[in-house]
A and B are shown apart, each in its own frame.
Chain A
Amino acid sequence: MTTVDGAENVPPVTTPVSLSVGSGLIDIRGACPRTGVVAPVAAVLAAVVSLSWLAPLATYDLVTYVAAASVGITIATTGVLFSYDAEQRGTGRILVAVAAVWLVSWGNEWRAGPLPLLSELLGPLWYVLGAWALLRYPGRALGRRHEAVFLALLGAWASGGAVVRTLLGRPEWSDYPAHTMWFTIVDAPDRARWDDLSTAWFLGLGVFFATLLGLLALKLRRSRGLGRRETLPPACAAGGIAVAGLAYVGVHVVAVSEAVRDASLVVVAVAVATTPVAFLVVAVRRQAARAAVAELVVRLTTTSSGADAVQDALRTAVADPGLRLSWWSPAERRYEAADGEEEMSGEDDRWHAEIRDAEGEPLARLALDPSLRRQPDLVSAVLGAAGLALANGRLHHRVQAQLEEVRASRQRIVTATQAERQRVERAVHDGAQGPLVAVSAALSTVRLRVSGQPEVLAALERAQDTVRTALGDLRDIARGMHPMVLTEDGLRAALARLAESQSVPTTIDVPATRLPAEVEGALYYSAAEALTNVVKHAAATSAHVRVRAEDGFARLEVDDDGRGGARPDGGTGLTGLRDRARALRGELAVGDGESGGTRVVVTIPCA
């Protein structure tokens, strides 16, 4: 799992990547609400309250009852659910308030006490609050000052109008019994003036709803990427409510039958009740965005680790075409943009998120759309995936570089070893053999000068035998090192000489062409070691050495007709040969020959 660095010190965990995102703390637990039993409890509670509060309505208009109750239940439940998301807590509370005010606005159904009066005075506030919630969503606050001004004006108009209508009217004008608790401040209210006032008020509300539609359109135009995906469904729902509100205003301004008026209320209620569906769509879209992380991981692991490829994958994953990826350059201790330009210090409105590896070493930095702050879980997942891919890529490059260094040094060792072998071979010939043959010559000289002394001659003969043995041993050592003939005449002459001295009859098939010195050396030692194994282990009656140089590879095959079963890891000296071959980017294979026995194959690339 991925953890996120924040203000608190997260205890060290076995994670390859840590993220420090901008200035704020990203708490994944907060971003992934665990509502548990709260959601159903809230829904049941909202249902009980709504259904019982609206009970009087059920006795004569079941459709309106159900529609109004639905609004109370769905909006309240949505609000409760939202309050578990740190980003949406404020909006959630407003939604709960909307549901409460909505219910208050239906309190007039009780026709008792102050309830009708409260309904008239406070009722209009539900759509003010609703407009507030929808305009700020999905942000933590309103995005623009004019939105705040609009809400203030709407609130003033809605509540001001309601208060004025109450003060200047009579309860029965609003279809209440005459004895309803009411505050009329004029002794003789003028019905005609009150009707004009009401019409003006409703017309004003119509203007506000139309303006709300415009504001929502502006908000949509402003949003980009994931933000638009989130804004669109609620904006549509809000648009629907505004249109329904306009219709409601329309039926209040134009004289229509009571039934149509009631129907318009039901339409508004249905429009409001569907708002949670819009939020549900957003939630589904968020899940889809998270699913894009899985796709991102696949892309990052299958495509090349090139900077552009990673940047493109990230842009797709978070639907932010302006995303910029900067690599950490450890040598220069600064970030470099993926497209090669020097990274600016980040003095823009973008959200900068840093990715570090397990050791806290910076890997890269992302400049993200600020609207992605509202998607901390998605961003964490994306950064985690990107971090893994980047760390992996960097590790891969490091290992590759180290491997290349090791290989190069191995080749240097092989070359040095070969040079050393040649040096020792020379030393044997020039240093050790010279004096020995001189001694032998001197002994021969004495033998020629001495006559008639058999004991002396016999002693001289024994001494010369010893010298002969020593010379033979030295020659064998030199041949095992790096025979002069290999240097002078190449692989064919050297392998011919090698074959001649094998106790197992050995034939060779070697082209006369010369190969690079280190390749000839490696193939010669390989053949010598393989033939030694044939003699020691194979119980063979013949062996064959074949060399081919074609297609940029030199290939040595040593076959025998023995018992087979040799393995390169059997401690038969083949391991050393394999190391030598690999140092030259080659390979050694040991297997069964075509006609039984063992086959050792060494391939070494040679240009």
Chain B
Amino acid sequence: MRVALLEDGVFRAALRYLLEAGGVDVVGDAGAAPAFLALVAERRPDVAILDIRLEAGSDDASGLLVAQRLHDLDPSIGLLAFSHFDDVTWAAHLLEIRECGIGYLLKDRVDSPEVLFDALERIRGGGTAIDPGIIERLVRYRERQGSLRPLTRRECDVLYLVAQGLSNAAIAESLTVDKRTVETHVANIFMKLGLEGDRQDRRVTAALAWLQAGGS
């Protein structure tokens, strides 16, 4: 897998070494948006990894804006946003660009290389990857509120994985159940929570929107 990096400071080098240690081919890195856009345009990596907020004092060159430019440049290039912010709002903003081939991870996730590489693989495969830490917090929050009471234990597990952006097949594999069973679970969840259908290309957004704080 070929990736390009947009990060600043010491983290860029550390991340590069980590990716390379995991067998990822880092085709180039940059510390500023213009150089990065040029780099991606030239090398066409599988996934572009970028910081959701660039260095201080460059608010106009926000990561979201860069992501949008990259999407406009070539929608086939996967996008992975790294962030210090565990607000689901930022992930939701990112998913507004598109829901496939995109991901939002906390920088903390470098402590679990397997999660990072798994997310990269999913993004390259046209999937979605939302930081499991954020989803876990949201699910717990809804659980405390009692909003998840209509769901079965297994449906809660499925919702957790759906919101992370896993496909039905990946969920089936993760839970070691049949893919058809997962489809049934997903349909039930969306029905019980009163969500708009289960359109595959917008279901992560729908799940996130529901999970995020709001009316009881």
Contact A430 B89 (CB under 8 A): no
Contact B15 A485 (CB under 8 A): no
| Of the residues B10, B56, B85, B213, contact of A496 by C-beta under 8 Å | B213
What are the interface flags for B1-38 relative to A under an 8 Å C-beta threshold, 1 for contact and 0 otherwise?
00000001111011101100110000000000000000
Contact B111 A499 (CB under 8 A): no
* B194 interface residue per 8 A CB criterion: no
Chain B positions within 8 Å of A508 at CB level: 213-214
Chain A positions within 8 Å of B88 at CB level: 496-497, 500
| Of the residues B11, B89, B113, contact of A438 by C-beta under 8 Å | B11
Contact B107 A437 (CB under 8 A): yes
* A429 interface residue per 8 A CB criterion: yes
**Which stretch, A156-164, A387-395, A442-450, touches the partner chain B?**
A442-450
A465 CB to closest chain B CB (Å) equals 9
What are the interface flags for B123-156 relative to A under an 8 Å C-beta threshold, 1 for contact and 0 otherwise?
0000000000000011001001110000000000
In whole angstroms, what is the CA distance A433 to B110 when docked?
13
- Within 100-133 of B, Cβ neighbours of A (below 8 Å) are at 107-108, 110-113
In whole angstroms, what is the CA distance A438 to B84 when docked?
12
Contact B18 A445 (CB under 8 A): yes
* A151 interface residue per 8 A CB criterion: no
Contact A449 B21 (CB under 8 A): yes
* B157 interface residue per 8 A CB criterion: no
* B55 interface residue per 8 A CB criterion: yes
In whole angstroms, what is the CA distance A497 to B19 when docked?
31
* A434 interface residue per 8 A CB criterion: yes
Contact B212 A447 (CB under 8 A): no
In whole angstroms, what is the CA distance A485 to B177 when docked?
38
Contact B55 A430 (CB under 8 A): yes
Contact B141 A444 (CB under 8 A): no
* B203 interface residue per 8 A CB criterion: no
Contact A505 B146 (CB under 8 A): yes
* A493 interface residue per 8 A CB criterion: yes
- Within 510-540 of A, Cβ neighbours of B (below 8 Å) are at none
Contact A426 B56 (CB under 8 A): yes
| Of the residues A485, A500, A503, contact of B137 by C-beta under 8 Å | A500
Chain B positions within 8 Å of A439 at CB level: 14
In whole angstroms, what is the CA distance A430 to B86 when docked?
15
| Of the residues B55, B89, B107, contact of A433 by C-beta under 8 Å | B107
Chain A positions within 8 Å of B85 at CB level: 484-485
Contact B15 A440 (CB under 8 A): no
Chain A positions within 8 Å of B141 at CB level: 499-501, 505
What are the interface flags for A5-24 relative to B under an 8 Å C-beta threshold, 1 for contact and 0 otherwise?
00000000000000000000
Residue of B nearest to A508 (CB): B213
Chain B positions within 8 Å of A477 at CB level: none
In whole angstroms, what is the CA distance A519 to B14 when docked?
40
Contact A493 B144 (CB under 8 A): no
In whole angstroms, what is the CA distance A484 to B63 when docked?
14
B140 CB to closest chain A CB (Å) equals 8
* B185 interface residue per 8 A CB criterion: no
What are the interface flags for A491-509 relative to B under an 8 Å C-beta threshold, 1 for contact and 0 otherwise?
0010111011101011111
Residue of B nearest to A465 (CB): B111
A545 CB to closest chain B CB (Å) equals 9
Contact A445 B214 (CB under 8 A): no
B91 CB to closest chain A CB (Å) equals 11
Q: Name B's interface SS.
A: helix
Contact B144 A501 (CB under 8 A): no
* A467 interface residue per 8 A CB criterion: yes
What are the interface flags for A64-88 relative to B under an 8 Å C-beta threshold, 1 for contact and 0 otherwise?
0000000000000000000000000
In whole angstroms, what is the CA distance A489 to B87 when docked?
10
Instruction: With A433-B84, A442-B14, A445-B21 as known contacts, state yes or no: A468 contacts B111, CB within 8 Å.
Output: yes
**Interface Cβ pair total, 8 Å cutoff:** 111
Contact B146 A441 (CB under 8 A): no
* B190 interface residue per 8 A CB criterion: no
* B210 interface residue per 8 A CB criterion: no
| Of the residues A444, A445, A497, contact of B89 by C-beta under 8 Å | A497
Contact B87 A507 (CB under 8 A): no
* A169 interface residue per 8 A CB criterion: no
Residue of A nearest to B146 (CB): A505
A430 CB to closest chain B CB (Å) equals 5
Contact A441 B55 (CB under 8 A): no
Contact A430 B213 (CB under 8 A): no
* A464 interface residue per 8 A CB criterion: yes
Residue of B nearest to A545 (CB): B213
Chain A positions within 8 Å of B9 at CB level: 434-435, 438
Contact A497 B87 (CB under 8 A): yes
Chain A positions within 8 Å of B8 at CB level: 434
A483 CB to closest chain B CB (Å) equals 7
A425 CB to closest chain B CB (Å) equals 10
Contact A448 B21 (CB under 8 A): yes
- Among A438, A447, A468: residue with most chain B CB under 10 A: A438
Contact A447 B113 (CB under 8 A): yes
Residue of A nearest to B12 (CB): A438
Instruction: With A434-B11, A507-B213 as known contacts, state yes or no: A444 contacts B111, CB within 8 Å.
Output: yes
Residue of B nearest to A496 (CB): B213
Contact B18 A448 (CB under 8 A): yes
Chain A positions within 8 Å of B13 at CB level: 438
B15 CB to closest chain A CB (Å) equals 5
In whole angstroms, what is the CA distance A248 to B148 when docked?
120
Chain A positions within 8 Å of B110 at CB level: 437, 440-441, 444
Chain A positions within 8 Å of B107 at CB level: 433, 437
User: Which 9 pairs across A and B sit closest by C-beta, in order of nearness?
Assistant: A496-B213, A441-B14, A438-B14, A441-B110, A448-B21, A437-B107, A438-B10, A493-B89, A485-B87
* 22 A-B residue pairs with CB within 8 Å: A430-B56, A433-B84, A434-B9, A435-B10, A438-B14, A440-B108, A441-B18, A444-B111, A445-B18, A447-B113, A448-B113, A467-B111, A468-B111, A485-B85, A488-B89, A495-B213, A496-B213, A497-B89, A497-B213, A499-B141, A500-B212, A509-B215
Hey, which bits of chain A sit against chain B, CB under 8 A? 426, 429-430, 433-435, 437-445, 447-449, 464, 467-468, 471, 475, 483-485, 488-489, 493, 495-497, 499-501, 503, 505-509
Additional 5 contacts, C-beta under 8 A, given A483-B87, A495-B213, A496-B213: A437-B14, A445-B17, A447-B113, A499-B213, A507-B213
